[in-house]
Amino acid sequence: MLGIAPGVVATENDGRSQQQIEGPVSGGGERSDNARFVLALAKRGIRSVLLRLPPATHGDSGFIAAFVKFARQKQAPAYIGDESNRWSAVHRDDAAQLVRLALESLPAGTVLHAVGEEGVRIRDVAGAIASGLGVEAVSVSQAEANAYVG
């Protein structure tokens, strides 16, 4: 989405295209257009803030809870490939606090990455879940992943 190469750590300065967007758009593939629209609102005097949440915003629900549920069903949490897959993460309570602070005090046009943990290896997440369930984590290839996940 931000137009950076795999393996490069994204910063708040990435994805700040100067292309103007006239209004919000719908569809999952249009996130970058909506982000540019939100930032353009600052030029119109609207205090807009872009808060980017990582894929693993965790708490009682979301990705990690779904990962645990899936691991229970399969009797083994899986990770893809050679253990190099990494995601950033944040606890939902920390993300909520950042949202509150953004609404209360940040200047228009601010971009924030709500990241509490950077570069968490998905293999380590699978290992922690496996330990809690008393099973082994398994590696699956990219080709096997769709069949494994269903």
134 domain-assigned: yes
22 domain-assigned: no
> Could you list the residue range(s) of the whole structural domain that residue 70 is in?
53-105+116-149
Q: How many CA atoms lie within 13 A of 98 on its CB side?
A: 19
131 domain-assigned: yes
pLDDT at position 15 is: 62
110 domain-assigned: no
pLDDT at position 1 is: 54
Overall domain count for the chain: 1
Compute mean pLDDT per 10 residues along the chain, 150 residues long, and list them.
Answer: 65 61 54 79 87 81 80 89 80 92 89 85 90 93 80
Q: What is the pTM of this model?
A: 0.67
32 domain-assigned: no
57 domain-assigned: yes
pLDDT at position 34 is: 78
Q: Which residues contact 16 (CB under 8 A, 6 or more apart)?
A: 39, 111
Tokens of 95: 């993300």
pLDDT at position 19 is: 52
135 domain-assigned: yes
Please name the residue that has the structure tokens 């030029």. Answer: 43
